[in-house]
Amino acid sequence: MIKENTSTNYGNWVSSKFIYIPFLMGAFFLGLILVWPGFAILAALCLLSGTYFVYARHAFSPCGGNIQVKLWEMVLERLDWNGKGKALDIGCGNGPLTIALAQRYPDGHVTGIDFWGKKWDYSKAACERNAQTAGVADQTDFQKASASALPFEDGTFEAAVSNFVFHEVSDAEDKRELLKEALRVVKKGGYFAFQDLFLFEELYGEIDDLLETIRTWGITEVAFVDTSASDFVPTALKLPFMVGKAGIIYGEK
């Protein structure tokens, strides 16, 4: 089980900005009610969305429903890697999957890459601190790079994972291309497990068609599991922009 201790900080998919920005805007519109009462509606909408994100942040965290950890675990469960050689974590955030893989497979080396933009509170320094605290600094390395152009030769890795990243990549209009790029750097016979909003047809098209397309790229085995349907995911988190359209595409290249 992935565990956070008092020194590791894996962050939260609901960044603090998602909370304080709606609350600040809500307060601003409340102040404007004296000018025009209609601003009350905008204030209420902002305060409601801020409150929803407070709930979601709590549900994802270890002191709430621990949903983040449970969804990370599902990715690890679907990766059929034997732990020998190199693995890649695409869009590693603060490094939870990179570190969990390194802990699980002491003979392996895991690289975490991320763009570390301003939307989240994640950083390369936090990844390195977390890896040090978890005792896997020697087995891990972290690099700034984009999922849309991975700085690695074809077939560099025995395994690759990614968690809730591809839909966020702003410089790739066709999200399927990100899957192709991720699979490019996996060795023939290597393993992969990617979790994202794969049931979002506007992003990926219909899921069976997506899996069929992946097969045409010469992938030996590919399967899909709908993680949004897991019992532990509360109904309130099943909104499409949260984890309501989430699933894992996994298999062997």
Binding-site member from 122, 191, 198, 204 for ligand SAM (CB under 6 A): 122
Residue 127 binds to ligand SAM (criterion: CB under 6 A):
no
According to DSSP, residue 199 is labeled T
Closest-by-Cβ residue to ligand SAM is 93
Q: Which of 38, 117, 151, 189 binds ligand SAM (CB under 6 A)?
A: 117
Two structure tokens written together for 170: 């702003």
* Angstrom distance (rounded) from CA 155 to CA 191: 11
Window 227-246: contact mask with ligand SAM (x via CB under 6 A): --------------------
155 with 125: CB under 8 angstroms? Answer: no
Site for ligand SAM in 49-108 (CB under 6 A): 91-93, 96
Q: In what helix (H) or strand (E) does residue 161 lie, and over which residues does it extend?
A: strand 157-163
Of the candidates 79, 99, 134, 169, which one interacts with ligand SAM according to CB under 6 A? 169
Question: Of the candidates 66, 133, 148, 230, which one interacts with ligand SAM according to CB under 6 A?
Answer: 148
Report the distance separating Cα 9 and Cα 13, nearest Å. Answer: 12
Query: Any contact of residue 194 with ligand SAM (CB under 6 A)?
Result: no
Question: Can residue 114 be called a binding residue for ligand SAM (CB under 6 A)?
Answer: yes
**Amino acid in position 162:** S
Pick one of 111, 139, 146, 156: the residue that binds ligand SAM (CB under 6 A).
Answer: 146
Q: Residue 120 interacts with ligand SAM (CB under 6 A)? A: yes
The strand pairing partners of 186, in sequence order, are: 157
Each residue 8-27 as x (binds ligand SAM by CB under 6 A) or -, in order, gives -----x--------------
Q: Is 203 helix (H, G, I), strand (E, B) or coil?
A: helix
**CA–CA separation, 130 vs 235, rounded Å?**
31
- Give the whole-angstrom CA distance, residue 100 versus residue 1: 9
- What is the amino acid identity at position 44? A
Tell me which residues touch ligand SAM (CB under 6 A): 13, 91-93, 96, 114-117, 120, 122, 146-148, 163-165, 168-169
